[in-house]
């Protein structure tokens, strides 16, 4: 199966456990990997035979901006499910959500969650 990788989708959002995260917000970064058959698009050079990934980038940015969840686990699951619901060409999706600046004392690293879902 073929893959399309979309990396470094950045957006500002309001998901977080702490009340200030839901008020002040923070930056998030999302990487998406899409499994689909691109052979027809490769042969015909026709965008209708593949996935126009611009809508996926827009969808991810909009979900990050408009969602107000307590847990990033819920946000990453929502992104993966939304992608699969909107395209029957995509057979599998992997979404990695990265929280670059976690408000945890004495922790300067990043937190990321990686989910993979299959079209049902």
Q: Any idea which residues carry the catalytic annotation?
A: 99
Q: Where on the phi/psi map is residue 116: left (φ > 0), alpha (ψ -120 to 50), or beta? A: beta
The SS3 call for residue 46 is coil
Q: 20: part of which helix (H) or strand (E)?
A: helix 19-24
**Nearest one of 68, 61, 62, 60 to 25, comparing CA atoms:** 68
CB 72 within 8 A of CB 81: no
């Amino acid at each position: 199966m073929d893959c399309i990788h979309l990396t470094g989708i950045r957006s500002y959002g309001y998901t977080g456990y702490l009340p200030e995260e839901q008020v002040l917000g923070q930056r998030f970064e999302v990487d998406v990997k899409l499994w689909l058959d691109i052979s027809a698009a490769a042969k015909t050079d026709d965008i209708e035979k593949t996935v126009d990934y611009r809508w996926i980038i827009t969808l991810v940015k909009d979900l990050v901006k408009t969602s107000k969840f307590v847990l990033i686990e819920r946000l990453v699951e929502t992104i993966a499910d939304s992608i699969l619901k909107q395209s029957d060409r995509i057979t599998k999706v992997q979404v990695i959500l990265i929280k670059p600046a976690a408000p945890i004392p004495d922790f300067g690293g990043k937190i990321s969650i990686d989910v993979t879902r299959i079209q049902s």
